[in-house]
Amino acid sequence: MTPGAERPPGRARVAADRRRRRSRLGIGEGGGRALVVAAVSTLIVFGGLGLVVVNAPGWPQVQDKFLNGRVFAESFPLIVSAFWVNVRLFLIAEVFILILAMVVAVARSLPGPAFFPVRLLATIYVDVFRALPGVLVIFILGLGIPSLRIPGLPADPFIWAVVALTLLYTAYVSEVYRAGIESVHPSQEAAARSLGLNRGQALQYVLLPQAVRRVIPPLLNDFIGLQKDTALVSFIGVVEIFRQSQIRQAGAFNFTPFFATALVFLIVTIPLARSVDWLLARERNRRVAGVNPGVGPGVTVAGPTVGAR
């Protein structure tokens, strides 16, 4: 076969993957016709569901109690203002989670019998906090610890909310980091060691940069979950978006504030979720096309397929 007569396998796979994604969206090989069919079927399905709901016998009562325009207009500004407490919780906890999760992941990856106690402690921590329900940890830390009245120990529920979320999500994110570290081919470390780098330098300049790059989409998924779980801290007295909606619901005897809260989370979370999907697709296409991410200075990527003939 003459050169150039066949498309490179990597590019062919990328093109096939894009065709599959278009097919799932209903705009595959059929082009415009498929798009029209998808739009019509979507309108029929959702239009039918809407007709069923609005013609239900109890729809007027549900509309008044959950979708009241006057209550929504009165509650929405207060609920949006309270959401900034969730944002503060999320941002502060995220900084601690990113750092502590990396420490735990590295501790669980340390080789040799001398580091067995470190690996054991890290494993126990991860297993315990992945097994406990989040709301239970928040209750114990937010209500139990301040009740000890230890001098110098803070009693602010916001602080204990940050601590609880950090402990919970550090356990999950550390496993994401560890999966990324273990996904790097052993030849990467072997190449770094052959260049004179010790274990710590190989970890810093070769393994961790590649691992972090690979796990960015899963990390973003975890942080979407963290953003939603900030609503759990309302149980220990932090007046954030969910607690504010409870206050408004109790004052108006109407559930519309909960709808307003759900709307805020949808507006914030859906674009983040779509961004994660885009990053996952980009990383998958990069790998399929054979593009290798860069590593630390002076080290050549030596993945399992690099240099294969």
Instruction: Give dist(CA 236, CA 84) in Å, integer.
Output: 17
Query: Contact 285/14 with Cβ under 8 angstroms?
Result: yes
* Mean pLDDT, rounded, for 257-285: 86
**Domains, the chain, ordered by start:** 1-55 (no CATH), 68-288 (1.10.3720.10)
Q: What torsion, rounded to 10 degrees, do the Cα atoms 161, 163, 164, 166 define? A: 120
Helices and strands of the chain, counted as H and E runs: 14, 0
Least confident range from 16-30, 117-131, 200-214: namely 16-30
pLDDT higher than 90, residue 242: yes
> Phi, psi (5° rounding) for residue 219?
-60, -45
CA–CA–CA angle 262, 273, 160 (5° rounding): 60
Task: List Cβ neighbours of 1 (8 Å cut-off, separation of 6 or more).
Answer: none
Rg of the chain over Cα atoms, rounded to whole angstroms, equals 25
Q: Residue 108 burial by CB count (10 A; 0-12/13-18/19+): exposed, middle or buried?
A: buried
At 163, the amino acid letter reads: V
Q: Closest by alpha carbon to 124, among 85, 184, 171, 91?
A: 171
User: Please, what's the b/e burial string for 47-78 (b: 16 or more CB within 10 A of its CB; e: otherwise)?
Assistant: eeeeeeeeeeeeeeeeeebeebeebbebbbeb
Q: How far is CA 95 from CA 98, 156, 159, 160, 272, in A?
A: 5, 20, 14, 15, 18
Residue 109 · residue 182 · CB < 8 Å: yes
Average of pLDDT values for 162-179? Answer: 94
Mean pLDDT over the full length of the chain? 83
pLDDT for res 12: 62
Least confident of 152-161, 231-240, 272-281, 282-291: 282-291
Separation CA 58–CA 52 (nearest Å) = 11
Q: What is the 8-class DSSP label of residue 252?
A: H
Q: Which of the four pLDDT bands, split at 50, 70 and 90, describes residue 86? A: very high
Q: At what angle do helices 157-183 and 69-109 cross, to 10 degrees?
A: 50
The pLDDT, as a whole number, for residue 107 is 92
Question: What CA–CA distance (Å, rounded) separates 233 from 51?
Answer: 38
Distance from C-alpha of 157 to C-alpha of 146, rounded to nearest angstrom:
9
More confident residue, 304 or 119: 119
